[in-house]
């Protein structure tokens, strides 16, 4: 197996995978059928990394899995390529609005195991799709999915992920998106579960007017570590990218945001913006933010901002003075803090799911 990346690599400076290398992961056991949310949407269900037809419902745009061949500079994608033997393959033909599909991964086992799903999403010209991804599980496992996305001109993909993995899990997701002219990739990840997790997105804007929004909310407590890393490559003129990352960190949790924007020579009128804001709920919590701008064009608008703060005592008192109990007042302010990242998520079922996941987070010990 290809070696895991180490902290010597700049891209892995803040996320240490040594705890992972100390565990010997076995092949996944047969998964048990969990209780699944019924959102009335077509769904593809994977149990311990294997497609389960009985729990899934038909989706006209799903195809069979094809073996992976790749030579990647990304160690985790390379490991995935060596190990993957299942995953969702979605293909929406030109001009078709395929609606919303649920992609569910559920993992559970008694001994540590690893699984490496390889998803592929291809949208033809002007096609539309919303993928709502849910990852849950119990016990110790390593989930190492790779999602490859290809969007033809004018296509629009909304990709919403709710990462509620087991609190003992390692979840390392790699997403690569190629976005053609006037196409849009709208991404949102809610990082809630996992002992150690990372979402790494590489978005290439290859045609004029392409757009990528890579937003995230990280809600972490205990000793959790969550990492949201994005690399946006502006390769054509007139493209726009946005990252809004909101992290709420309690206890000794640690959040990471690394955002890289690369503007190629000739990618004029690029509009790139990234914002990382962290709310630290206790003195032991930590946020690391690393923006990187690499610009080879001269007519571009690129900026980034980062803030770290605590709950505002004056706001808290204002709410309490109106009769709102302290715990509820805190929850309201935390929810308000997340609003800017959540705002672009307008799909009804996704919204419901996210609100529920966020609400559950408050009541966790």
Considering the complex, state which of residue 299 and residue 312 has its C-beta at the smaller distance from other proteins.
Answer: 312
Q: Are 291 and 304 in contact (CB under 8 A)?
A: yes
Beta bridge pairs of residue 128: 97, 156
Q: Are 296 and 283 in contact (CB under 8 A)?
A: no
Q: Do strands 170-179 and 196-205 pair parallel, antiparallel, or not at all (unpaired)? A: parallel
Minimum Å gap between C-beta 228 and other proteins is 20
Q: What are the tokens at 140? A: 């110790």
Minimum Å gap between C-beta 103 and other proteins is 29
Considering the complex, state which of residue 111 and residue 310 has its C-beta at the smaller distance from other proteins.
Answer: 310
Minimum Å gap between C-beta 317 and other proteins is 5
Considering the complex, state which of residue 8 and residue 322 has its C-beta at the smaller distance from other proteins.
Answer: 322
Minimum Å gap between C-beta 338 and other proteins is 8
Q: Do strands 254-263 and 240-249 pair parallel, antiparallel, or not at all (unpaired)? A: unpaired
Minimum Å gap between C-beta 218 and other proteins is 17
Minimum Å gap between C-beta 330 and other proteins is 12
Minimum Å gap between C-beta 340 and other proteins is 7
Minimum Å gap between C-beta 75 and other proteins is 38
Question: Residues in the site for other proteins, rule: CB under 8 A?
Answer: 312-315, 317-326, 328-329, 332-333, 335-340
Considering the complex, state which of residue 55 and residue 332 has its C-beta at the smaller distance from other proteins.
Answer: 332
Contacts of 94 (CB under 8 A, 6+ apart): 124, 125, 126, 127, 152
Give how far the C-alpha of residue 62 lies from the chain's centroid of Cα atoms, to the nearest Å. Answer: 21
């Amino acid at each position: 197996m290809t070696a895991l990346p180490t902290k010597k690599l700049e891209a892995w400076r803040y996320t240490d995978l040594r705890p992972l290398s100390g565990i010997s992961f076995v092949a996944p056991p047969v998964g048990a059928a969990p209780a699944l949310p019924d959102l009335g949407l077509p769904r593809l269900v994977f149990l311990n990394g294997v497609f389960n037809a009985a729990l899934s419902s038909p989706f006209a745009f799903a195809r069979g899995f094809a073996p992976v061949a790749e030579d990647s500079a990304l160690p985790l994608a390379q490991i995935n390529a060596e190990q993957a033997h299942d995953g969702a393959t979605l293909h929406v033909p030109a001009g078709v609005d395929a609606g919303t599909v649920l992609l569910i991964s559920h993992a559970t086992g008694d001994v540590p195991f690893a699984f490496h799903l390889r998803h592929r999403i291809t949208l033809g010209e002007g096609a539309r799709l919303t993928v709502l991804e849910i990852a849950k599980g119990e016990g110790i496992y390593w989930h190492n999915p790779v999602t490859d996305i290809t969007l033809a001109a004018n296509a629009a993909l909304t990709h919403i992920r709710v990462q509620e993995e087991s609190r003992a899990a390692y979840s390392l997701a790699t997403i690569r998106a190629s976005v053609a002219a006037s196409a849009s990739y709208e991404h949102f990840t809610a990082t809630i579960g996992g002992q150690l997790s990372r979402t790494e997105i590489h978005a290439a804007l290859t045609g004029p007017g392409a757009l990528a929004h890579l937003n995230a909310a990280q809600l972490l407590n205990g000793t959790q570590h969550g990492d949201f890393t994005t690399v946006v490559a502006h390769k054509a003129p007139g493209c726009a990218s946005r990252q809004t990352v909101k992290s709420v960190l309690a206890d000794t949790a640690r959040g990471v945001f690394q955002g890289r924007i690369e503007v190629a020579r000739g990618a004029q009128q690029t509009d790139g913006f990234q914002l990382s804001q962290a709310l630290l709920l206790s003195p032991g919590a930590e946020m690391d933010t690393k923006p990187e701008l690499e610009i080879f064009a001269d007519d571009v608008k690129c900026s980034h901002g980062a803030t770290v703060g605590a709950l505002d005592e004056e706001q808290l008192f204002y709410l309490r003075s109106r009769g709102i109990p302290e715990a509820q007042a805190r929850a309201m302010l935390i929810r308000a803090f997340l609003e800017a990242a959540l705002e672009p998520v307008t799909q009804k079922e996704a919204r419901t799911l996210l609100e529920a996941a966020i609400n559950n987070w408050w009541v966790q010990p």
